[in-house]
Amino acid sequence: MGKKSAQAVPPVEEPKPASATDKKGKATPKRPTQSKARPPVNPPLTSKEKREAAKKSGPLTKEQKRQAREDVRAERGRIAEGQWKGDPLFDKYHLPRDRGPERLLIRDIVDSRWSVSQYYMFGAFAILIFSTAGTVALQGYLFIGLLALTGVIVIESVLLTRRVKRIVGARFPKTTQRRAGMNWYAIQRNIMPRSMRNPRARMSYKATEDDLGKVVK
């Protein structure tokens, strides 16, 4: 009887591990290999957070306000100097249209050459003033002068875009910027008076082609 009872006991089956397809009908998707970038430990304060922090700290004294203004002035001067030198560390403070080594090179190309186009605004304004108060004959002469000035600007723009294409193509053969955008950027800066250009001009008319696009020491 002892042998029969021992044989009648069914063997105990080990539990099978649940598969990835149990109860779902499809495999569990894998976790992405790359995790999202973590935020910085000490992120910079926003303008709202700065105002709230200033309120909590209480009113500033005259000396603290004066020191704060001097710090802001010194920081702006440091940023402006870095932008003028072409330091890549300060490129982030430029407007989006002015960022990148290609745009720095284009600005230097424009600023290193004298052109009639930079006086277009003054010429057009003078023609507009004299045409309203002059005689019919004078208005005709002024109109011819405006057409001549426009023709000179067109010729200079064509020569400028060719130079931009040659120099930028040689320095940055794999650039991702559109050719039309770079040409229009150069033309817009060329017709702007030199003293009103922003970022300000850093190349003289005696600058050589090797000086263009480099960090000024």
One pLDDT digit (tens) per residue for the chain, 217 residues: 444 444 555 555 555 555 544 555 555 555 555 445 555 556 656 667 777 777 777 677 888 788 888 888 998 899 899 999 999 999 999 999 999 999 999 999 999 999 999 999 998 888 888 887 767 788 888 889 889 999 999 999 999 999 999 999 999 999 999 999 999 999 999 999 999 999 999 999 999 999 999 998 8
Q: What CA–CA distance (Å, rounded) separates 183 from 164?
A: 7
pTM of the model: 0.68
Q: What CA–CA distance (Å, rounded) separates 36 from 190?
A: 44
Q: Which amino acid is at 88?
A: P
Task: Please confirm whether the linkage preceding 199 is cis (ω < 30° from 0).
Answer: yes
Q: What CA–CA distance (Å, rounded) separates 101 from 213?
A: 7
Q: Which phi-psi region, left, alpha or beta, contains residue 215 (left: φ > 0; alpha: ψ -120 to 50)?
A: beta
Q: What CA–CA distance (Å, rounded) separates 136 from 173?
A: 53
Q: What CA–CA distance (Å, rounded) separates 62 from 68?
A: 10
Q: What CA–CA distance (Å, rounded) separates 65 from 71?
A: 10
Contact 86, 216 (CB under 8 A): yes
